[in-house]
Structure 1
Amino acid sequence: MSVLNFTTIKSFLKQNLAEKFKSKIFFFKRRASPFPVGNLKPEKKAVLALADGTTIVGYGFGATGKTSGEVVFNTGMVGYVESITDPSYNGQILVQTYPLIGNYGVCPEHFESGGPKIRGYVVRELCVEPSHWTSKKTLDEWLKENGVPAIYGVDTRMLTKKLRIFGVMLGVLHVYPPGEEPNLEEIKEEIKYVPDPNQTDLAREVSTRKIVRYETDGKYRVVLVDCGVKKSIIRNLLARKVNVVQVPIDTTTDKILSEKPDGIVLSNGPGNPKMVPYLIKTVKQLLEVKIPVFGICLGCQVLALALGGDTYKLKFGHRGQNHPAIDLKTQRCYITSQNHGYAINPDSLPEDVEVTFLNANDKTVEGIKHKKLPFTAVQFHPEAAPGPVDTDFLFDLFLRDMEKFRGG
Structure 2
Amino acid sequence: MPRHASAVPPAILVLEDGRSFHGRSYGAEGETFGEAVFSTGMTGYQETLTDPSYHRQVVVMTAPHVGNTGMNDEDPESRRIWVSGYVVRDPARVPSSWRSARSLDDALREQGVVGISDIDTRALTRHLRERGAMRVGISSADTTVEALLERVRASGEMVGANLSEAVSTAEAYVVPAVGERRFTVAAVDLGIKANTPRMLSERGIDVHVLPATSSIDDVLAVQPDGLFFSNGPGDPAATTAQVELLREALQQGIPYFGICFGNQLFGRALGLDTYKLKYGHRGINQPVLDRTTGKVEVTSHNHGFAVAWPDGVPLDDSVETPYGVASASHICLNDDVIEGLELRSPDGALKSFSVQYHPEAAAGPHDAAYLFDRFITLLEDDA
Q: TM-score, normalised by structure 2?
A: 0.93
**Which runs of 5 or more structure 2 residues have no equivalent in the other structure?**
312-317
1:374–1:401 Cα contact (<8 Å) kept: yes
Cα offsets for 1:316-344 (capped at 9, x unmatched): 00000000000112221100000000111
Unmatched runs of 5 consecutive residues or more in structure 1: 1-35
The correspondence of residues 359-374 of structure 1 with structure 2, limited to 5 A, is: 359-372=332-345, 373-374=350-351
Instruction: Look up the match of 1:213.
Output: 174
> Please, which of 191, 194, 210 is the counterpart of residue 228 of structure 1?
191
Q: Return the alpha-carbon distance in structure 1 between the equivalents of residues 194 and 6 of structure 2.
A: 35
Quick one: distance in 1 between partners of 2:207 and 2:242?
A: 19
The residue identity in structure 1 corresponding to 2:105 is D
Q: Which residue of 2 aligns with 1:117?
A: 82
**Higher-Rg member (1/2):** 1
Specify which structure has the higher proportion of helix: 1
Aligned partner of 2:353 among 368, 371, 376: 376
Q: Deviations over 1:205-254 (max 9, x none)?
A: 10111111122241310100000001111110111121010001110101
In the alignment, the residues of structure 2 paired with residue 208 and residue 198 of structure 1 have an alpha-carbon distance, to the nearest angstrom, of 23
Question: In the alignment, is residue 92 of structure 1 matched against residue 57 of structure 2?
Answer: yes
Shift of 1:197: 3.4
Change (3 A) 1:164 1:260: same
Q: How does 1:350-361 map to 2 (within 5 A)?
A: 350-351=319-320, 352-361=325-334
* Counterpart mapping for 1:159-170 below 5 A: 159-170=124-135
Map of 1:387 onto structure 2: 364
**What is the alpha-carbon distance in structure 1 between the residues aligned to residue 217 and residue 3 of structure 2?**
56
In 1, the alpha carbon distance for the partners of 2:114 and 2:309 equals: 39
Question: Per-residue displacement from partner, 1:53-110 (whole Å, max 9, x unpaired)?
Answer: 1111110021111110100000000000000000000010000000000011001211
Cα separation, 1, equivalents of 2:152 and 2:229: 34
Paired residue secondary structure (2:310): helix
| Cα deviation, residue 39, structure 1 | 4.6
| TM-score, normalised with respect to structure 1 | 0.87
Please tell me whether residue 186 in structure 1 is matched to residue 151 in structure 2: no
- Separation in 2 of the partners of 1:393 and 1:115? 28
| Residues in 2 aligned to 1:281 and 1:255: alpha-carbon distance in whole angstroms | 14
Contact residue 128 and residue 139 of structure 1 kept, 8 A: no
CA distance in 1 between counterparts of 2:307 and 2:64 reads 32
Q: How many residues align?
A: 367
- 2:114 aligns with 149
RMSD: 1.5
Percent of aligned pairs with the same amino acid = 38
Equivalent residues in 2 for 1:244-263, closer than 5 Å: 244-263=207-226
Question: How far, CA to CA, are the matches of 2:78 and 2:242 in structure 1?
Answer: 22
CA displacement at 1:371 relative to structure 2: 2.2
Provide the C-alpha distance between the structure 1 equivalents of 2:176 and 2:146, rounded to a whole number of angstroms.
Answer: 56
1:305 corresponds in structure 2 to 268
- 1:81 partner SS: helix
Number of the residue aligned with 2:314: none
| Distance in 1 between residues matched to 2:2 and 2:104, nearest whole Å | 12
Q: CA deviation at 1:271?
A: 1.4
| SS of alignment partner, residue 198 of structure 1 | coil
Aligned-pair CA distance for 1:40? 4.8
**Alignment partners' CA distance in 1, 2:132 and 2:182:** 47
2:201 & 2:16 partners in 1: Cα distance? 43
Letter in 1 for 2:12: V
Secondary structure of 1:88 counterpart: helix
